[in-house]
Amino acid sequence: NAGVTQTPKFQVLKTGQSMTLQCAQDMNHNSMYWYRQDPGMGLRLIYYSASEGTTDKGEVPNGYNVSRLNKREFSLRLESAAPSQTSVYFCASSEGLNAFFGQGTRLTVV
Amino acid sequence: RKEVEQDPGPFNVPEGATVAFNCTYSNSASQSFFWYRQDCRKEPKLLMSVYSSGNEDGRFTAQLNRASQYISLLIRDSKLSDSATYLCVVNMFSGGYNKLIFGAGTRLAVHP
């Protein structure tokens, strides 16, 4: 049982490059989330998806887009990466109140 | 003001010590409360839920004071393996989904 799987685990981008972070869960959860974690800031919600086909902005959505193509997968896209987007990104899913997290993607934008 | 506030620590304690972490939240409409644990460079994982009546799980005791909007976690007989960051988490059901709001975390270092 894999739980929540994120790819890639590490990525270095140049300013202005684009990329997509992939996330998949095998727990049949309806809700999925993307967070970023920065030192001293805790986890901040970027986007969430309450169910397949729906997405909504979280606390810090600027510079990101998401796609929930099916129940399993929720991807996060950076169209034009900026150094301020250097962070650790976590995908999570939940059914009820307990959230399960992926292992994280460490992204550096230079 | 942050919605969930925690002392960042670090709390440096010897093995066997008792240590307590506190957390305050600003929104009185918050519905559910949790402590998550995050090991260095790993993902957060649920440690325990927090109930109004207080609850215990082995060496861990969680308390909630809704009137003061305050949550606590007590760890007794600390082990080296308890070294981690402890995240206070508040849940609100808003806009059709469960919104989990995380504190920045309190770091615990248990030494021999």
**What confidence tens digit (pLDDT) does each residue in A36-87 have?**
999 877 889 999 998 898 999 988 999 999 999 899 999 999 999 999 999 9
Interchain CB distance below 8 Å, B32 and A94: no
**Is any Cβ of chain B less than 8 angstroms from the Cβ of A82?**
no
- Distance in Å, alpha carbon of B90 to nearest chain A alpha carbon: 10
Residues in chain A within 8 Å Cβ distance of B95? 56
The CA dihedral of B4, A36, A60, A63, to the nearest 10 degrees, is 170
Q: What is the pLDDT of residue B42?
A: 93
Interface test with chain B among A6, A23, A37, by most B beta carbons within 10 Å = A37
Task: Report the pLDDT averaged over residues A93-99.
Answer: 83
- Distance in Å, alpha carbon of A60 to nearest chain B alpha carbon: 13
Distance of CA B96 to the CA centre of its chain: 25
Interface test with chain B among A43, A88, A93, A94, by most B beta carbons within 10 Å = A43
Q: How do residues A12-46 score in pLDDT, each as one tens digit?
A: 999 999 999 999 999 999 989 999 999 877 889 99
Q: How do residues B53-109 score in pLDDT, each as one tens digit?
A: 889 999 999 999 999 999 999 999 999 999 999 999 998 877 667 778 889 999 999
Q: What is the pLDDT of residue B96?
A: 67
CB B84 within 8 Å of CB B37: yes
Closest CB to B102 among A42, A48, A96: A42
